[in-house]
Structure 1
Amino acid sequence: MKKFLFFIFLSVALAAAAVTFIANQPIIGAGVQPLEFAIKPGSSVRSTADQIADAGVPVNPYVFELLARATGKAPRLKAGHYELKPGTTPLALIDQLVRGEFAQESLAIIEGWSFRQMREAIAAHPALKHDTAALSDKELLARITSDHAAPEGLFFPDTYRFAKGSSDLAIYRQAYALLQKRLNEAWARRDPSVPYKSPYEALIMASIIEKETGQRSERNMISAVFVNRLKRGMLLQTDPTVIYGMGDKFQGNIRKRDLETDTPYNTYTRAGLPPTPIALPGSESIEAALNPSKSDVLYFVARGNGTSEFSNNLNDHNRAVNKYQR
Structure 2
Amino acid sequence: MFKKILFVVVVLLGIISASIYQYFQVLKQPVQASSSPFLIVERGTSSKRLADILVEQKLSKPSMLLPYILRFDPKFKRFKAGVFSLEKISTLEDLLIHINGTQEAQLSLRFVAGRTFNDWQKEWQGAEFLKQTLKNKSEPEIAKLLGIEQPKLEGWLAPNTYNYIPYSTDLALLKRLYKRQKRILDKAWQNRDKNLPLSTPYEMLILASIVEKETAKADERPQVASVFVNRLRIKMRLQTDPTVIYGMGDKYHGNITKRDLRTTTEYNTYRIDGLPPTPIAMPSEEAINAVAHPDTTPYFYFVADGTGGHKFSKTLKEHNQAVQEYLKWLRSKKDK
TM-score range, shorter chain: 0.7 to 0.9
Aligned partner letter, 1:55: Q
Equivalent residue for 1:50, pick from 46, 52, 57:
52
Number of the residue aligned with 2:6: 3
2:213 counterpart letter in structure 1? K
Residue 45 of structure 1 deviates from its aligned partner by 2.2
- CA distance, structure 2, for counterparts of residue 324 and residue 26 of structure 1: 69
1:181 alignment counterpart: 183
Given that residues 22 and 90 in structure 1 are in contact (C-alpha distance below 8 angstroms), is that contact kept between their aligned partners in structure 2? no
In structure 2, the CA distance between the partners of 1:314 and 1:58, relative to structure 1 (3 Å rule), is: same
CA shift, 1:215, in A, is 1.2
**Would the aligned equivalents of 1:27 and 1:86 in 2 still touch at CA under 8 Å?**
no
Bigger mean CA offset, 37-46 vs 137-146? 37-46
Q: Is the 8 A contact 1:26 1:87 kept in 2?
A: no
TM-aligned CA deviation for residue 141 of structure 1: 1.0
TM-fit CA distance, 1:323: 0.8
> How many correspondences in the alignment?
321
* CA deviation vs aligned residue, 1:219-261 (integer Å, no higher than 9, x gap): 1111111111111211111010111111111121111111111
- Correspondences of 1:50-69 after superposition (within 5 Å): 50-57=52-59, 61-69=63-71
Structure 1 gaps, min length 5: 29-33
What residue ranges of structure 2 are gaps of 5+ in the alignment? 329-336
Which residue number in structure 2 is paired with residue 320 of structure 1?
A: 322
CA distance in 2 between counterparts of 1:288 and 1:89 reads: 54
Look up the match of 1:116: 118
Q: State the Cα distance separating 1:214 from its structure 2 match.
A: 1.0
Q: Give distance in 2, aligned partners of 1:243 and 1:229.
A: 20
1:199, 1:107 → 2: CA distance?
27
Equivalent residue, structure 2, for 1:259: 261
- Which AA in structure 1 matches 2:9? F
C-alpha deviations, 1:93-133, integer Å up to 9, x for none?
Answer: 44644568333222111111110111111112231111100
Paired position in structure 2 for 1:232: 234
The separation in 1 between residues aligned to 2:190 and 2:62, in whole angstroms, is: 58
Contact 1:64 1:90 in 2 (8 A): no
Contact 1:49–1:62 (CA under 8 A) maintained in structure 2: no
CA contact (8 A) 1:210 1:285 kept: yes
- 1:244-301 deviations in Å (ceiling 9; x for gaps): 1111111211111111111111111111111110000111111111111121211100
Question: Counterpart of 2:50 in structure 1: which amino acid?
Answer: T
Name the CA distance, whole Å, in 2 between partners of 1:308 and 1:284. Answer: 18
